[in-house]
A = this chain, B = another copy of it.
């Protein structure tokens, strides 16, 4: 099996990542900067760094009710090594839990215009990724906060404009607010992240929350989580 890569190599006793020395990254850069480098092939500006830190932190922990979190705890509770419990948590994210960022970024990075994206989605009765929220009908304050920061930091560009154009095009037919997934998709696209891995921003943040919960589960709880009888209705 043959493998070809341009990401990293060893040269003269140094490990180089997109041409930067790993040892120099360790001495001079933050984890967020190094992550930005790996995923976009260049180091961020100070403003991009601030923005990327904000986005990563925004996913870090939203409470034990999230499927990614309690599923990781269940896997820990039946006796699995850390890597397997984190994998279990990742497998409890998906199309309906984090996945909209990728789909929205895919549209934003495509050649299709904002108007055409909206028209097609409405015609095919597809739920437009990055729009709509159970609670926030008019405006999603978290999305606005991120976009405001992006504007202030000078990062908002063509993809943010496109997602705003989608919002307007949608408004005429269905008044759904841009949500946090749509904001993340636009800002990450403006900073040069491929749609294929924008969802990694959410997953990377979320992994940290999982770890905290796995530690708590193993420290405080007895093994082997099962549903209680009162949770179950048998309908046959």
Contact = CB atoms under 8 A, between A and B. Distances in A.
Given A54-B26, A67-B225, A81 B78 contact: no
A122 interface: no
Q: For chain A, which range describes its interface: under 10, 10 to 19, 20 to 34, or 35 or more residues?
A: 35 or more
B211 A197 contact: yes
Contacts of A221: 4
Interface string A1-38: 11111111110000101110011011101111011001
A96 B78 contact: yes
Contacts of A57: 22, 25-26, 29, 31, 34
A35 to B, nearest CB: 5
Contact of A87 (B2, B74, B84, B216): B84
Interface in A107-141: none
A86 B234 CA distance: 23
A168 interface: no
B87 A19 contact: no
Contacts of A80: 81, 83-84, 91, 94-95
Nearest to A236: B6
A53 B31 contact: yes
A117 to B, nearest CB: 17
A8 to B, nearest CB: 5
B31 A56 contact: yes
Contacts of A96: 77-79, 223-224
